[in-house]
Structure 1
Amino acid sequence: MNNDSLILPHHPECMSPDVLTKLLVQHPKLHQQIVSGFVNGLRSGDRLHVLLVGASGIGKTHILSLICHRLSRHPDLQDSLRIVRFGPTEVPSGLLCLACSLAEKLASLCPEEFSSDLQHITNALPPADAATAILHRIVQQLQHRSLLLVHENLHLVFHSLTDAEQKHWRAFLQETRRFSTLATAPALFPQISDRNRPCFGFFDIHHLQLLKLAASRQLVLRICRLRKRKNALQILNSPRRPRSPAGC
């Protein structure tokens, strides 16, 4: 089995876009719809903030990873989009931590474009002002480009932000119009579902449904084809025989 056929059930972010596409048996048009939305938004100056909601193991990271692959390889976005992805356990402890982590990731991904020298900012300013200064410096370093923030377990990120920080973050995103968001969460959470919270109505929410029986069977078939399990394929493709009554 070569690397392109590698199936990693618990780490779809490490799988190739070809394998991810072959194993996508439910919501086949959703990732295309979201990719088109981001591309059209970048062209028009609009910024999307998309949240995929569904239970653990339902395929959120699978679809999210496929979207990231498609956007990173889109011919029209090579010089106009940078993507920063936060893993499911990368949870900031406040807005300043989020801003610093973002700056450090950008400096690591694109060292020729971004600097991570933040000490003079964080030492000289109060936390809220330092977060603002770092975020605006990122906008300056982006120049003509836009940034896609990819968050898994967005509810944990929001739990780490105070209401004031959430209000500040939303205002920054709306005023600068340089950042888009693609995120996942296992369920809706008060910070985005409560009308009285700063980020209510901010996200375009897509609810993912559990795999149906036909889709589950199709997924097993595709996995067996990729892994060349001929015996399993014969069993799965064989006609079903009615079960004999007990005692016959």
Structure 2
Amino acid sequence: MGPPMSTVPLACFTPSLMPEEVLERVCVAREPVLKTLEKRVKKLGHTPSPNHTLLVGPHGVGKTHVISLAYHRCTRLIASQNDPSVRIARLPEAPWTITSYGRLLAAILDRVSPAATRNTDESTLEAQLRDALRTYGPIVVFAENVDHIFVALGEDGQQKLRSFLQTETRILIIGSAARLDRSLSESASPFFGFFDTIRLAPFSPEDAREMLTSLARESDNSELADHLSSTEAMASIHAITHLTGGTPRVWAVLGNALNTAGFTDLKTLLLTCLDSFTPYYYEQLAQLSPLQRLVISELAAANRPLPVKDLAERVGAEQRSVAKAVSDLSERGWTKPVSTVFTDLLDQRRSYYDFVDPLTRIILQLKDSDTLLLPRIVIFLETWFGTEGLTASSSFELLGAVEDALASAAQGDAEPMMALPSTAREAIELKVCDVEGISSARLNLLAKAAKRADLLPSKDIIEWVARAERLDQELQSPQSRLTLVRWLAALGNFDEAEAALGTITSTQEAQEGARALSDAHQARD
């Protein structure tokens, strides 16, 4: 077993504390963004209109990592060009002291000419900053949590800043925000359409594997680095991505505790590591109204998307009040309307809502073991994305519900799909890109379940035989008939399995069916 990845100096919640060389080595999928920012810094002072840039993405998506690397690279770039005229002002990551337009100007000035005496008068501060631009040259301002700064500035302060930036073309703002709130998205706001927005998405499973491999090498854990290239590891990475949303912060936290054995017990690994996120989410929940917290709690307990009407019934409040709460939660980045490939098969009069950040659901469920579906969900996801069959009989219940929901969708009713756990449905939709893809997904699901039919009692196998018969009646294909043969053989109905095998016209499926029947005979002997 390789050593745990605890030797990497990885500050999961404050990347700005990490050395530049470590930030570079564990940087994944952000190089195009960094190159864009570098080009904009190089153009500063040589273009009449600087490209003020805003990195937008949810908490933990890597905004601070990118800002920190951009800051270090720009510092080195300026030094390599022997151009002391360009100065950098990096504002604090937590800008709680920037409570007004004047304090923002003072914060910038403190970083480009710290020896100067500050006056609190905004007009004087503006004049000092203009003088600094003329005296020292262009300034690059790195500002995180711009949305929080703008709230503190208010509309009047925002308007003053917009006017200043429009008249001073030798200052460039590279900022970040968790979301585009009203100060950035409403057409009447001073900064509507002002920033060039770059959205940072959570990592794909492939990006996550690259990051984990980098961390393993950073810790000199060659065993883990090699294991990460395996199909089994990739299935686990897919599972974690769909459970947690796959932000870089999640992978950093998991990576610090991961070793090869960790992939064999994802439930324990997730429960151990994700508990570190609990304080942050509880702090955010405390800022919501009582009704908003109720909506969030019920959505987590349901473990699936819900329309406003159902949410209102669950929280015991008027539908109009709940609709307003859901709208406010959507604006604040908590919830969103669900987009699904099955939309055309749903009641168009209803909109379903779910969490923007799937990690919210897990964090809220961590304290309620009675409703925690994590073990079954993990096994389902590993099975869905992997090549092997199930490893626990407890997961057959969820897999059966998925097959039944897909069967209903194939008949034009997608409501059972929306009743599935969100992570399971979203994983299905990744492979079932449209309604036409339902049949192949069902064939794949029944085939994987059949590989471990030995885990089931006969009464449960009978239900799976009925599912295989249902699918075969619908498709009437060699693949569906092979699936039926496998399940009949698993039940011990060898005569029926032989008869079904004799109707398969495809040589390949016939051979596979014969092997399945032979294996079932040997298992009974």
**Normalized against structure 1, the TM-score is what?**
0.83
Counterpart amino acid of residue 132 in structure 1: S
Counterpart amino acid of residue 127 in structure 2: H
In structure 1, the residue matched to 2:109 is: 103
* Larger deviation, residues 91-100 vs 207-216: 91-100
Seen in structure 2, the aligned counterparts of structure 1 residues 57 and 236 have a Cα distance that, compared at 3 Å, is: same
In structure 1, the residue matched to 2:95 is: 90
Aligned residues of 1:72 and 1:78 also touching (Cα < 8 A): no
Counterpart amino acid of residue 237 in structure 1: S
Aligned residues of 1:50 and 1:203 also touching (Cα < 8 A): yes
Q: How does 1:1-248 map to 2 (within 5 A)?
A: 6-74=9-77, 75-76=80-81, 78-91=83-96, 92-108=98-114, 111=115, 115=116, 117-118=117-118, 121-122=119-120, 130-142=121-133, 143-238=135-230, 240=232, 242-243=387-388, 245-246=451-452, 247=454
Q: Residues 190-212 of structure 1: CA distance to partner in whole angstroms, max 9, x if unpaired?
A: 11111111111110100111111
1:242 to partner: Cα distance = 4.7
The DSSP-based 3-state class of the residue aligned with 2:153 is coil
* Larger deviation, residues 162-171 vs 84-93: 84-93
**Cα distance in 1 between the residues matched to 2:50 and 2:129:** 17
In proportion to residue count, which structure has more strand?
A: 1
* Larger deviation, residues 135-144 vs 197-206: 135-144
**Cα distance in 2 between the residues matched to 1:220 and 1:77:** 37
State the Cα RMSD in Å. 2.2
Counterpart amino acid of residue 103 in structure 1: L
**Cα distance in 2 between the residues matched to 1:76 and 1:239:** 46
**Cα distance in 1 between the residues matched to 2:231 and 2:175:** 42
In structure 1, the gaps of 5 or more residues are 123-129
In structure 2, the residue matched to 1:126 is: none
**Cα distance in 2 between the residues matched to 1:198 and 1:238:** 51
State which structure, 1 or 2, has the greater radius of gyration over its C-alpha atoms: 2
Aligned residues of 2:44 and 2:170 also touching (Cα < 8 A): no
Counterpart amino acid of residue 146 in structure 1: P
**Cα distance in 2 between the residues matched to 1:43 and 1:71:** 16
**Cα distance in 1 between the residues matched to 2:216 and 2:58:** 25
Q: Residues 48-95 of structure 1: CA distance to partner in whole angstroms, max 9, x if unpaired?
A: 210000011111111111111111111236412211112232231111
**Normalized against structure 2, the TM-score is what?**
0.41
The DSSP-based 3-state class of the residue aligned with 1:162 is helix
The DSSP-based 3-state class of the residue aligned with 1:155 is helix
Asked which structure has the greater RCO (Cα within 8 Å, sep 6+), the reply is 1
Aligned residues of 2:183 and 2:191 also touching (Cα < 8 A): yes
Counterpart amino acid of residue 388 in structure 2: R
**Cα distance in 1 between the residues matched to 2:132 and 2:143:** 21
Q: Residues 190-240 of structure 1: CA distance to partner in whole angstroms, max 9, x if unpaired?
A: 111111111111101001111111111111001100111123223223464
In structure 2, the gaps of 5 or more residues are 1-7, 233-385, 390-450, 456-525
Aligned residues: 229
Aligned residues of 1:99 and 1:134 also touching (Cα < 8 A): yes
Seen in structure 2, the aligned counterparts of structure 1 residues 77 and 191 have a Cα distance that, compared at 3 Å, is: farther
Seen in structure 2, the aligned counterparts of structure 1 residues 159 and 24 have a Cα distance that, compared at 3 Å, is: same
**Cα distance in 2 between the residues matched to 1:179 and 1:132:** 18
1:167 to partner: Cα distance = 1.1
In structure 2, the residue matched to 1:127 is: none
In proportion to residue count, which structure has more helix?
A: 2
**Cα distance in 1 between the residues matched to 2:103 and 2:21:** 35
- Percent sequence identity over aligned pairs: 22
